Structures are given as C-alpha cells and as structure tokens.
Chains A and B, each alone.
Chain A
Amino acid sequence: MDFSAISPVALIVSLMAASTPILLAALGELVVEKSGVLNLGVEGMMIIGAVCGFIAAVTTGSPWLGFVFGAICGALLSMIFAILTQYLMANQVASGLGLTMFGLGFAALLGHKYSGIKPPKFHSIDIPILTDLPIVGPLLFGHDPMVYISILMVFVVWYFLNRTRAGLVLRAVGENHDAAHALGYKVIRIRIMAIGFGGAMAGMGGAYLSLVRVPQWTEGMTAGAGWIALALVVFASWKPGRALIGAYLFGGVTVLQLNLQAAGLSISPAYLSMTPYLVTIIVLVIMSADKARASLNAPASLGKLFHATT
C-alpha cells in the first residue's frame, strides 16, 4: 500500500469535476420539485444530454455547442413528461420512470455510431501566474469553465428562489397550487417552465459526463448519477447550498475510494465502491434529521396532480 501517491490537491481538483454532473442535475430537479412536480426522469434526461451533447460536440468540434445542445435535448425530453403530467394528468411517478427508461434506450440508439470516438477537448482555464501558484492555483484557478458555471448556478438558483418575485410565485405554486390558482397564477405554465429548466440542467450535467468527465460515449454511462441527484434534492431539504455540499461529498468519496483502490488498500473493492452512496446518504440524513424543519422546506403539493376546477 502506498497512500503517499494520493495528493490532496489533485484529489480536490478531481472531486470537483466528478461532482459537477450531479450538482447540475440536482439543481434543476430542486427547482422542479419546488414548483410541486416530482420528475423521476432525471437519469433519462441526463443520458439524452450526454449523447446529444457528445454528437453535437463531435460534429461541430465545439464542446460549448455540445453543452448547449445537451441542455436543449434534455429540455425537449422533459417536455414529454410535462405534456403527460400537466395536460394529460398522468401519474408523475410512472411518467418519470417511463422517461428514464425511454431516455436510456433512445440514447443507446442515437449513440450507436459514436462509441470509441474522442470528443474535442474542453480546456481548463489558464490564467498566467494565478493558475501557476502552488496549491491555490489548481484549487481556485485551474478548472474548466463548467465547474465555475455549476457553482455560479448554485447561487443563481438560491437567489431566484429566495429573492425574486418569480421565485416566490414558483414556491407558492409548489406549496398550494389551488391557492395559487385562486390568486390568478398560471400553475401549469409555471410548472412546465420549471420542468423545462430541470431538463436543461440534467442534460447539461449529462453532457459534462460524456465531454469532460469520462470523456467518451458509452451506453448507460450515467450509471445512476440521475438517481443520486434525485436523492440529493430530498436529503438537502430542497436547499441549493446543501445540494452543493452533498454533491461534493459524493464526488469526494467517489474519487477517494478510487484512489484507495489504486493504492491497493486491503478492503474488497466492492465495499469501497459502496462508500460514496453510503456516506452521502448518512451525512445528509443527519443534516435533515430535524423532521419538523425538513417538512417546512418540503413543497406541500409535491407530486400532486393539479386540475383547475372552477
């Protein structure tokens, strides 16, 4: 065993990259759930984002276009869910599960010809002097732009939900859709916009997986990241800041256990592979242990169908 090969700085840098996809997807789902909709299709939207982003980036040669296209495709897929649940009053749980299965299958079909290709490289930022500083340089100034965008989105989502009127209306719709309707707010329109935002964020997270994190296209490459994002939202008590902590914790333990496996720790790799899931869930359960407080944050209309009866 040789733990000295594990460098803390390199570890943190790689954990941020490992966490970015689930952080993006979790932020999107957080907004969706705050509007009172439970979309279990995150995994499906992520993998569609992964394959579409990959195809766009390979075709155009621009990773940026890949992210944009991945987000658009994630949002388009989420519109299937939106039509089913908001207009046709389909059950949200069943529709979300269906969306995941459809997304996984459709992505495999789309990506058939793209296995084994390398996507164009997405460069990390490089600021002369600053990036070259020891420790601080790689930690603060050496990531790729999407890492910064994802952290910025944590703040944007928090500000939107807690400081803007549109965010207040969205929370109100998720809290009591009948009352919001009685006040004249367009419940269905607001929810559809939230669902679309959730789809775009999941798609962007998926594109990050195939363009930066892996980087190549393989079938089923999201490997449960969408489900982790869903769990994060609940355990983070619907708070963006906590979703950030949860995502980084998950990413951190994932990277750490890979390093430990590589260093030859004498614990079965099967157990090590479990640790990210276990640690994340345990920590977040402890954080949300105060049930009364947690249920105050939970949107009261979550998962309930809304039908305007006038």
Chain B
Amino acid sequence: MTPLLHLSGLTKAYPGVIANDDVGFEIQPGEVHALLGENGAGKSTLVKMIYGLVRPDSGEMRLHGEPFAPTEPREARAAGVAMVFQHFSLFEALTVAENISLGMENPPENAALSDQIRQVSANYGLTLDPDRRIGDMSAGERQRVEIVRCLLQNPKLLVMDEPTSVLTPQEVDVLFETLRKLRDEGTSILYISHKLEEIRTICDNATILRLGKVVGTCVPSEETPKTMAEMMVGTELKTPSKRPYTPGPSLLDVHDMWLQSADPFGTSLRDISFSLHAGEVLGIAGVAGNGQDELLLALSGEERVTNDAIKLKGENVGNLGPNHRRLQGLLAAPEERLGHAAAPDMSLTENALLTGFTRQRLTNRGFVKWQATRNFARAIIEKFDVRTPGTENAAKSLSGGNLQKFVIGREIMQRPDVLIVNQPTWGVDASAAAFIREALLELAEQGAGVIVISQDLDELMEISDTFAVLSEGRLSRVRSASGVTIEEIGLLMGGTEVDNAAA
C-alpha cells in the first residue's frame, strides 16, 4: 500500500540551530500517528513544513506517492492537508461562520455555509452555533470551530498540534470519539502531544523526535508512559517525592472575594473563599479562561478587591498593591513569561530588580544598587540552574524553560510566606518542569504556603496536598488531594459540584 504521506531526509536550519535534521517517517491511510518530543525537539517546524508555512532546506515529501512541496498553506489545504493549531488561529471579534469561511478556499454563500456547519457538527457530535462570536466561547468550543473548519474541506490528513491542552477530561473523550470516527472513515491524523497517556489511548504508531532528529519509533499501546518519556528526554526521569503534609497555621484567608474582569472576554471572579496553611501546596485546576488570570491578579495585588476579602497572616491586604503585599510576604509569578512575569527586552539583572527591590533592599533612596542586584540575579541563575551566558542577557533570549526557572527562582529566593504561581510549567521541557516542581515542594517544606494554578492535572496530582477547581469564576470547595479521581475533577471542571462528604 502506498503511504498517504512519506517524508524523507527533511532538514531545516535556522541561524544557530538545526530545527530538523534528516527527519523521515510514513503515515498510512486511516492511521493515527503520534509525533512525540519535548519543546524545541522540532515538532512545530516539521508540522509547518507539511502545512506549507515553512519550506525545508532539503529533503522530500510525498503525498499519495506524488511529490509534495507546498509553498503556502493554500496549496497544502488544496492537497487535502488540514491543521488544528495549538494556539487557536481564531478571530475573537468574528462569528463562527466568518471564522470558518476564512479558512476555506471557496466558501459557499453565508446561508449555505451555516447549513453545512450545522450538518457537519451534528454528524461528529460537535455542537456549534454558526452565528456566535468566538470571544464568547469556551476553549473547548473554540477547538470545535477549528475542527469543523478542517472537516468542511474533507481532509485526507488532519494535523493536530497539542489539541487537548485546553480541554476538560470529558471534552477530551468527545474529541477522541470524533477522531476515531474520522479514522474509520479513512482520514489519517498526525497527532502532536506530550501527554503520553493520551497517545497510548488514541495513536497507532509514534515517531519520537529529540533535538531535531528522529530517535525512535514505537507502538504506543505496547509502551508505558515512563518508557516513552525517557525516549523523549534521552535520560532517566526522576519524579519528585512527595512528603507527608500536616497543615500548619493559616497564612492566607480569602473570604467572599469578587472581581469584575477588565477584559471584555475575561471571566469575573465570584465569591471566592479559601484558606492556605503553612506547608500546604494548594492546586487549583480548571480549563483556561475560567478566571485563572483574574485570580492571580487579585491575589498578587495587580487588581484591588475589598480590603477584608484577603487576609495575609491576619492582616487585611485586599486594597494593597503588589509591592506592599510583597513586603508582607506574598509573592506571585504570572503565567505569561514574556511581558508579564518578565520584561522581554530587559536584562536578567533588571528583571531581578523588578520584583526583588523591596524585599531584597536593592535600592537606596530611589537609586538602584546595581552590584547587589547583579549578585541577586547571579544567585538565582546559579541556584536554579538557569542556562544563560550571563546576567546581562535579555530575558527574551532565554528558552521558555530557562526563563521560567529564572522567574520562579526570583520569587522563591525572596523567601515568601505565600507564593502564587500560574501555569508554572506551561511550555517548559520535562527536565525543567521537574526541577520547578521540586523547588515548589521544597519551598512548602520550609513552611511557606504555595498556590499552583494549572491546567495540567497530572502536575497537580503530583505536587498538591489540597485541591480545588476554578470554573466560570467560582472556586469549588478545597478538598484533600489524596483520593480525588480524574473523573471527579473532570466533572468539577465542567462546573458540576461533586458532593463528596468523605473527602
């Protein structure tokens, strides 16, 4: 049988880095093929070549045995290759139908297109209203738009880049149903993910990339997640060991906290109440866009709330700004590394100063103590194994994992009483992620309270002592993390409160 897609010898170099080096594999018709690899392994570059966004320096692609060298996405789409992007390529201010029409070569009239959308979405169990605005939709619904947009073109090959990172477990099940149905109809799927359990569930074969090279292939159902992870990383992985947790005195009490979101497409916080104790790691799960950003802003002090809504060690801090809260021991690391947690064009020294100057006394009557600041930055770099030539390099020159280690390290080095982190390991390679989790656990062990807001359930199960779910701006009851099942969390993430008196 001729393979649907045959790749051989694909090479693509960027200044200073070879993104793909002699990559080759085959995808058969009706096969779900996984592409595995850490961040920076070259998955995205490879996919962009298949979709015509990047042209390979050398190598050959064949589709149905014919030479295939798309110079732009239009050509790839015409040849039957469709792609669902990791970061949605949707337009928030436009409607579903308008978005779908933009992704098609010859879109039909509006009314006919709306009918087609309804028909396809009903066929595959993906409910969609063509006239809704994207900005008002959840991440799961947005992904349906992307998928329906692809399906309307009857693709032969569907490329999915990290499709489940924004979905609840239940939504993942619906997605997998759809993918199986497509596979049975003969559509091939190239599935990119680093969630190994999912790959075991859905994929027939896997190709593993490391540093731009194919380092192995496997049949996922015959492997364990651990063996696949080790193929990805190339070394053995250690999982952080969890220590027994006994709650210490209460450090942070949040009671009846409300916050109106400043973003027209944001989620307002409603009646948030919880307590955080010394030595506790509180994991807050939830699908993106359910108020995570707002919760971090309200707790860090970037947005003010009523004064008595937040008590830090018994003191009201609700209407204090970030610097006052830092002085009192409450520190935070937001999700967006470039532009929120760190200023991209400023050096690491300057970035160290930005949150460190109050607690580390890096200024003297308004003048910066540069030597002390440089020493502080150097200490972070050494303690947290940040790979960078020096303290004077711009923040944006660091890889995601290294910058994240710097950002988290900068806060931990200031010995906080309470630390809040949002998505601490998002887009970070496996070894850096393990390092960051270890550091957070160590901080809690020393008696600090840590709040980890994350969409990665495996991560939360691994490090949290207690557990709550944020859904549509409301926080569920905080429960002990031991004994919570993935199904329960999934229901909570969908907004159903599970009454579990035993927990």
Contacts and interface: CB of A to CB of B under 8 A. Distances in A.
A168 B73 contact: no
B92 interface: yes
B89 interface: yes
A171 B94 contact: yes
Interface string B34-69: 000000000000001000111000000000000000
Given A165-B107, A182-B53, A182-B89, A296 B264 contact: yes
A183 B103 contact: yes
Interface stretch (A172-180, A224-232, A264-272): A172-180
B72 interface: yes
A183 B103 CA distance: 6
A222 to B, nearest CB: 33
A175 B54 contact: no
Nearest to B149: A183
Nearest to B102: A172
A182 B73 contact: yes
Interface in B102-116: 102-103, 107
A300 B135 CA distance: 12
B103 A297 contact: no
A295 interface: yes
Nearest to A179: B89
A176 B264 CA distance: 16
Max chain B C-beta neighbours (<10 A), residue from A168, A185, A291, A292: A168
Contacts of B101: 165, 168
A4 interface: no
B93 A184 contact: no
Contact of A169 (B74, B93, B102): B102
Max chain A C-beta neighbours (<10 A), residue from B48, B93, B94: B93
A300 B92 contact: yes
10 contacts: A168-B94, A171-B93, A171-B94, A172-B91, A182-B85, A183-B102, A184-B72, A296-B93, A300-B92, A300-B93
A120 to B, nearest CB: 46
Interface string A262-284: 00000000000000000000000
A7 interface: no
Contacts of B74: 184
A176 B98 CA distance: 14
B427 to A, nearest CB: 16
B189 interface: no
B264 A172 contact: no
Contacts of A292: 264
Q: What 3 A-B pairs come out closest when comparing CB atoms?
A: A184-B73, A179-B89, A175-B91
Interface in B65-102: 72-74, 77, 85, 88-94, 98, 101-102
Interface of A: 165, 168-169, 171-172, 175-176, 178-180, 182-185, 291-292, 295-297, 300, 310
Given A184-B72, A310-B53, A179 B264 contact: no
Contacts of B133: 296
A180 B103 CA distance: 9
A297 B94 CA distance: 10
A184 B91 contact: no
Main secondary structure of the interface of A (DSSP, over half): helix
Contacts of A165: 101, 107
A179 B88 CA distance: 8
B94 A295 contact: no
A176 B92 contact: yes
A183 B93 contact: no
Max chain B C-beta neighbours (<10 A), residue from A172, A178, A185: A172
A173 B426 CA distance: 28
Contacts of A176: 89-92
A176 B87 CA distance: 12
Contacts of A182: 53, 73, 85, 89
Given A183-B73, A292-B264, A168 B48 contact: no
Contacts of B91: 171-172, 175-176, 179-180
A310 B101 CA distance: 24
Given A168-B98, A184-B77, A297-B93, 20 more contacts: A165-B107, A172-B102, A175-B92, A175-B93, A176-B90, A176-B91, A178-B89, A179-B90, A180-B102, A182-B89, A183-B89, A183-B102, A184-B72, A184-B74, A185-B102, A291-B264, A296-B133, A300-B92, A310-B53, A310-B54
A184 B74 CA distance: 6
A184 B75 CA distance: 9
B94 A175 contact: yes
Contacts of A310: 48, 53-54
Nearest to B55: A310
Contacts of A178: 89
A78 B128 CA distance: 42
Contacts of B107: 165
B135 A296 contact: yes
A220 B101 CA distance: 46
A183 B135 CA distance: 19
Nearest to B76: A184
Contacts of B93: 171, 175, 296-297, 300
A180 B74 CA distance: 12
A40 to B, nearest CB: 23
Nearest to A175: B91
Contact of B52 (A175, A179, A184, A300): A184
B40 to A, nearest CB: 15
Max chain A C-beta neighbours (<10 A), residue from B72, B91, B92, B135: B91
Contacts of A297: 93
Nearest to B54: A310
